[in-house]
Amino acid sequence: KSPRSEEGMAALRLLLLAAPALAYEITPCPGITGSEASDAQSSIDNPIDQEPGDCLCVPSTQYNISCPAGFFCPSSGGQFKCTAGFYCPVNVSQPAFCCAGYYCPDASQMIRCPEGSFCPIGVEKAVSCPFGSECPEGTTDVSSNAGAVIGIIVIFLVLWICVCCQKRVKRFHGERRYGTVQEFSHDPKLLSRAEFDAQFTLPEDSETKKVDVKRKSLEEKQMDDPVAEGKVQEGKADPKKALTFDILYKDITLTLSNGRTIMKGASGRFRAGRTCAIMGPSGAGKTTLVTLVMGKAKRTDGTVYINGKQDEMYHYRDEIGFVPQEDIMQRNLTVWDILKFSADYRLPKEFSQKARQEECYRVLKFLEIEHIVNSVIGDEKTRGISGGQRKRVNIGMELVAKPKFLVLDEPTSGLDSVTSLTLASLLQTIARETGISVAAIIHSPSPDTFDKFDDFTLLGVGGTVLYSGERERALEYFESVGFTKPKKMTPADFYLEVSMGRVPRKLDDGRIDVDFDIEILPALWVTYGRDYRSDELKDLPDIHGSPDKESSRKETEIKSDDTEKMIAKKSGFSSWMQKTNRKMKTNASNEWHSIENYVIDCASEFWNWISCKSDGNRKKANFFQIFFICGRRTYFQMYREGSWVWGLFLHVALGLFVGVLITNQFVGPLPVQTCEDGPLQALRSCVLPLQDIYMTLGVFSCWISSFAGMIEGIYTFGAEQVVFWRHTARGLPTIPYFLAKVASDVPKMLINSALFFAGMTLVYFPLGDRADLYGLILVNYWVGYTFGYFVSMIFEPRLRSLWCVIFAMAYAFIFSGFTTTLPNIEDQYGKGLEWLWDMSYMRWGLEAFYVNQMAFYEFLENINSAFSTRNYNPDNFAKNCWIIFGLGLFWLFITFLCLKGCNRTKQK
């Protein structure tokens, strides 16, 4: 054999270090004697049983040259220093990796790994084994880590102690609260608006003070006569200062972008100190009417007057109580938590903690739910309070905020007649005691329940008003226009039947019109209802046509949507074009309007925040107080939700799975000189490490830890979106809420990532800096959480997890620099796409992981080649972690914009 072919064989052997299954003729490691030699020999004899590269030593060559230990002398000539991590006894032509289970402090000696340490292949010093692991002499890798077990136990123990202490504290507070509420029994009355305002709104200058005191005493007198009270209020006080609202709405109209008119010129009134029942067939537009009046939705036409002044209810959203049909509240909180939260963020800042608590006690007592003050609300899965009690809590949430106007959307639905009656009495008492106006949408109330309402608004099909005035006079009106109530029918049913055209109408000439057209009903109200309306509404525009049956049809036909008819006459394409054009124009204008509103809203919230001003009419808790109460509520939620404890075990399991994958399987690149001498095929091995699992491990660790964060993160905002909309519609500022939710996730991130890291290091002992590695796992969790927030903002709940899988996979396998290394991006995907990788936390995470692990191998002469081929920089660990943190902040910012910008109408 020529010396050159010998060289080639030697280089090939080196290449095949990573493929132990191929047994080559290998001689014992020179320089090892006695039992060590036989150990080494036995491992060499059976390379198939060996871990890759365990002890495959390069044969000593038989050249007649003298090559000293610590050097190698290739056949091509020359004598070269054997570099760190390699072993060169006397007379060798090639360096060999220091065997696994041995370490080579210098290249001339190979020492067996002592007890209590372990030595992977190619290392210059032994690594101390972690506490509690079994490391006999010659250990190549650590398979267990008692420190991690202890870490996991300590974390759980601390959490358990915290939960136990918290339980005791909660029980103590709960018992005390229960006692206090019971003692409150002698004073069940609600505060009147005047009493309430006296607690906090007395202005500083005495002039205004006098005026206010006068007004208050006047108000107090009016409380005794609530019916009269509404009249005194009307048109007088400035809505900003008024104690109660008297609301007049005129010609409220809503036409959708498709041309459909849902609300057609509705006019009516909600008077202070009185209750108003809103009734009508299903789909008539009852909910639409109240949302339009309250400014929750944008109307196409119409005016709202508050205390006689043209204004928008939206400006006073923190003064309005809206009880939605669904019981929108956090189901894992207690009745107290829910009421207190409402009182905390909605009551004026002048209210002390004690006053807020008292307000909650008063409402609890008033709604007769004081005995369930410490009960959890519960849901379909977890039994909590009853449906009726939940309805009361729903009302209580608004009542504690002392609104000037209370609207309830079907508060009696799903309740029995006795409970409905009690609820209606409650509403009446609220109006009487506090002096506010109460409007409730109700379906088929019993006569007694119906009698509890002072006023009555009946809507007809198509969003038209058929009656709006005093309840007691409704029967008189309907009889005056020809409808007689059958004896057996309850008044409420009678009105409903009339609105649906099921009651025959007696005409002026005495004839009975059994099949009358219900479209004349609104026109009847406009024409014959003058006497039943207040002065401001005496003259309503006659948009509903004539009450006369025959002409009414014609008029309605002519008046209703002339353009629609014109379009209908035109054929096919041009009609479609016109329709689309109109639709696009409306849509574009709506879009522009909502963008404009969004920008104004965001800017004003930021400005309010910076200038420490309160959003809305009331001066409420400041930024830090809201931040605190939102954080406390989230903490209570977490505390009551036991499932998160099981979630912690899952993080350990995830870490464990990653740890099982990881072993310290790294065989570094060859010394430079060997490469220069080797055949062409061996060049690649000279540049890259022979065996390098760290890239794969990096992808798995970063991918799984960030993915775990994502899956947790989608619930932070996603699980309570509807509750957020409800609160923000009533004036909860978004910034402190948002920051509080994120801040209360931080301890979770710390615990979850610690458990993941502990799980991972249970079976894997990282060679790189362990604190750094934990830091990397933590920032991966952080970016995962923030990305999860973002996903929860823009995708449907059902699809969120799936989107997380897709994004995490794309980040891990496409935009990470794993499958396509960074220098190859341009070649493979074209120019200008690098920013996609720069935006991917995985690209930075992978580099940081690699750098962290490879730091241990920095003694290898050619190690930089491993970094340079991937465009990595060994000094980049901290920088990359900061970049990942920054990307998390970026997603956080986008999430905030989405939280504010998506579903704007629901936040009104």
571 binds ligand ATP, rule: CB under 6 A: no
When the beta carbons of 95 and 285 are compared against ligand ATP, the nearer one is 285
Nearest to 249 by CA among 201, 306, 172, 315: 306
* Shortest CB 325 distance to Mg ion, Å: 6
Give the amino acid at 450. F
CA of residue 586 relative to chain centroid, distance: 31
Q: Are 437 and 424 in contact, with CB atoms under 8 Å apart?
A: no
Answer yes or no whether residue 284 interacts with ligand ATP by CB under 6 A: yes
Cβ of residue 833: shortest distance to Mg ion, in angstroms? 50
* CB of 256 or CB of 514, closer to Mg ion: 256
Name the residue nearer to Mg ion (CB basis): 325 or 527.
325
Residue 262's binding partner among ligand ATP, Mg ion, none (Cβ under 5 to 8 angstroms by kind) is ligand ATP
CB of 412 to ligand ATP, least distance (A): 12
Residue 94, phi-psi category: left (phi > 0), alpha (psi -120 to 50), beta (remainder): beta
Of 176, 730, 736, give the one whose Cα is nearest residue 399.
730
| Residue 323, SS3 per DSSP | strand
- Segment near ligand ATP (CB under 6 A); pick from 34-42, 279-287, 593-601, 669-677: 279-287
Nearer to Mg ion, 287 or 744 (CB): 287
From 284-292, 350-358, 578-586, 612-620, span contacting ligand ATP (CB under 6 A): 284-292
Q: How far is the CB of 256 from ligand ATP (least distance, A)?
A: 5
CA 515, 521, 527, 529 torsion-angle sign: positive
Residue 710 contacts which entry, Mg ion, ligand ATP, none (Cβ below 5-8 A, type-dependent): none
C-beta of 98 vs 284, nearer to Mg ion: 284
Q: Which among 495, 46, 483, 526 has a CA at the least distance from the CA of 266?
A: 526
Work out which of 62, 282, 571, 643 binds ligand ATP, going by CB under 6 A: 282
Residue 286 in the binding site for ligand ATP (CB under 6 A):
yes
Q: Interacting stretch for ligand ATP, rule CB under 6 A, among 23-31, 277-285, 574-582, 751-759?
A: 277-285
Main-chain phi, psi angles of 471, to 5 degrees: -60, -40
Helices (H), 548-571: 549-559, 562-569
Is 285 or 324 the residue whose CB approaches ligand ATP more closely? 285
Quote the CA–CA distance of 308 and 303 in Å, as a whole number: 11
- Contact segment (CB under 6 A) with ligand ATP among 27-35, 278-286, 359-367, 614-622 equals 278-286
Q: Quick one: DSSP state of residue 664?
A: -
Q: Which does 256 bind (CB under 5 to 8 A by kind): Mg ion, ligand ATP, none?
A: ligand ATP
262 near ligand ATP (CB under 6 A): yes
Residue 85 contacts ligand ATP per CB under 6 A = no
- Considering beta carbons, is residue 326 or 676 the nearer one to Mg ion? 326
* 595-614 binders of ligand ATP (CB under 6 A): none
Q: Count interface residues toward ligand ATP (CB under 6 A).
A: 10
Nearer to Mg ion, 126 or 407 (CB): 407
CA distance 607 to 599: 12
Question: Should residue 908 be labelled a site residue for ligand ATP when binding is judged by CB under 6 A?
Answer: no
Tokens representing 260?
A: 């459909």
Residue 690 binds which of ligand ATP, Mg ion, none (CB < 5-8 A, kind-dependent): none
Indicate the residue among 288 and 546 with the shorter CB distance to ligand ATP: 288
Tell me which residue of 585, 587, 623 sits closest to 607, measured CA to CA.
623
550 three-class SS: helix
Q: Which residues pair with 885 in a beta bridge?
A: none
Residue 280 touching ligand ATP (CB under 6 A): yes
Distances (CA, A) of 811 to 778, 817, 825, 870: 17, 9, 14, 17
Distance CA 326, CA 105 (A): 74
* Cα dihedral value 131, 137, 140, 143, nearest 10: -40
Q: How far is the CB of 262 from ligand ATP (least distance, A)?
A: 4
CA–CA gap between residue 242 and residue 244 (Å, rounded): 5
Q: Which one of 59, 85, 265, 285 is in contact with ligand ATP (CB under 6 A)?
A: 285
Pick the piece of the chain touching ligand ATP (CB under 6 A) from 281-289, 585-593, 598-606, 852-860: 281-289
* Cβ at position 287, least distance to Mg ion in Å: 3
- Report the alpha-carbon distance of residue 276 to residue 441 in Å, rounded: 8
For residue 77, which amino acid is it?
G
Site for ligand ATP contains 89 (CB under 6 A): no
Please identify the residue of the shown chain whose CB is closest to the bound Mg ion: 287
The answer to whether the beta carbons of residues 39 and 50 sit under 8 Å apart is no
Q: Least distance (Å) from ligand ATP to the CB of residue 888?
A: 36
Region of 199-207, 282-290, 332-340, 371-379 interacting with ligand ATP (CB under 6 A) = 282-290
Of the pair 192, 287, the CB lying nearest Mg ion is at 287
Burial 429-455 (b: 16+ CB within 10 A, else e): bbbbbbbbbbbbbbeebbeebbbbbbb
Contact flag: residue 256 with ligand ATP (CB under 6 A): yes
Q: For the purposes of burial, counting CB atoms within 10 Å of the CB of 233, is it exposed (0-12), middle (13-18) or buried (19 or more)?
A: buried
Of 296 and 800, which CB lies nearer to ligand ATP in the complex structure?
Answer: 296
| 3-state DSSP percent of the chain in helix, strand and coil, to 5 | 55, 10, 35
Listed residue (671, 866, 678, 682) closest to 82, CA to CA = 671
**Whole-number minimum distance, CB 489 to ligand ATP, in Å?**
20
Q: How far is the CB of 465 from ligand ATP (least distance, A)?
A: 13
Residue 541 as a binder of ligand ATP (CB under 6 A): the answer is: no
- Name residues whose C-beta falls within 8 Å of residue 700's C-beta, 6 or more positions apart in sequence: 658, 661, 662
Positive or negative: CA dihedral 372, 376, 379, 383? negative
| Minimum CB–partner distance for residue 462 and ligand ATP (Å) | 9
User: Residue 279 interacts with ligand ATP (CB under 6 A)?
Assistant: no
Query: What phi and psi values does residue 656 have, to the nearest 5 degrees?
Result: -60, -45
Partner in contact with 139, chosen from ligand ATP, Mg ion, none, beta carbon below 5 to 8 Å by kind: none
642 binds ligand ATP (CB under 6 A): no
288 binds ligand ATP per the rule CB under 6 A = yes
Which helix (DSSP H) or strand (DSSP E) does residue 203 occupy? none
Bridging pattern class, strands 309-310 and 301-306: antiparallel
Quickly list H helices, 347-416: 353-366, 387-399
Q: Which is nearer to Mg ion, 287 or 556 (CB)?
A: 287
The three-state secondary structure class of 537 is helix
- Tell me which DSSP letter residue 5 carries: H
Closest contact distance (angstroms) between CB of 162 and ligand ATP is 46
Binding interface with Mg ion (CB under 5 A): 287
Closest separation between CB of residue 600 and ligand ATP, Å? 22
Residue 287 found at the interface with ligand ATP (CB under 6 A) = yes
By CB under 6 A, the residues from 201 to 230 that bind ligand ATP are: none
Select from 138-146, 157-165, 275-283, 734-742 the region that touches ligand ATP (CB under 6 A): 275-283
Residue with Cβ nearer ligand ATP (403 or 463): 463
CB of residue 286 to Mg ion, shortest distance in Å: 5
Nearer to ligand ATP, 439 or 778 (CB): 439
Q: Are strands 437-441 and 405-409 parallel, antiparallel or unpaired?
A: parallel
* Distance in angstroms (rounded) separating the CA atoms of residues 541 and 407: 27
Q: Per CB under 6 A, does 434 bind ligand ATP?
A: no
CB of 284 to ligand ATP, least distance (A): 4
Q: Over the Cα atoms of the chain, what is R_g?
A: 39
- Could you tell me if 763 and 144 are in contact, meaning their C-beta atoms sit under 8 angstroms apart? yes
What does the binding site for ligand ATP look like in residue numbers (CB under 6 A)? 256, 262, 280, 282-288
